[in-house]
Amino acid sequence: MDLRGIEEKELLTLNIHNHVIATGGSSVYSHSAMKHLKLDGIAVFLNVDLPTLESKVCDFDTRGLAKRPDQSFADLFDERFSLYMKYADVTINCLDATPEEICARIIKELELEKSKAGNESGG
């Protein structure tokens, strides 16, 4: 079984109720896994630009990223970005933000999502 298959299998076994799940970057390649994670949760995409991500990912060639052998980091970023946007319920702009600011943004957006869900269900 390949790395993505193992990742999908493990994600599908997770109890996601009242949990924060920080997935690996390749989890978005599995529609089944993303559907499972979104069944009882909110998918939050922490968005940064390519230069910021490149500065955070050291050892790109040896890190074990799930990518094609001929694929550059920029190509991988572009490929995954559309998938992250597809599955995200909430997108948080993390560019030039401190961890505290990012957490505050996440909390604010999750409260809005909770409020929207309550209104939709009549509660």
Give 8-32 pLDDT, tens digit per residue.
999 999 988 888 888 877 899 999 9
* Of 46, 30, 53, residue with least CA distance to 110: 46
Give the count of beta carbons closer than 10 Å to the beta carbon of residue 82. Answer: 10
- Give the predicted TM-score (pTM) of the model: 0.83
Residues 6+ apart with CB under 8 A from 2: none
Q: What is the pLDDT of residues 73-96, one digit of tens each?
A: 899 899 999 999 999 999 999 999
Contacting residues for 3 by C-beta, under 8 A, at least 6 apart: 26, 64, 66
Is 88 within 8 Å of 45 (Cβ atoms)? yes
* CATH classification at residue 79: 3.40.50.300
CA distance 84 to 25: 9
Structural domains of the chain, count: 1
Write down the number of H helices and E strands in the chain: 5, 2
For 76, the domain range is: 3-120
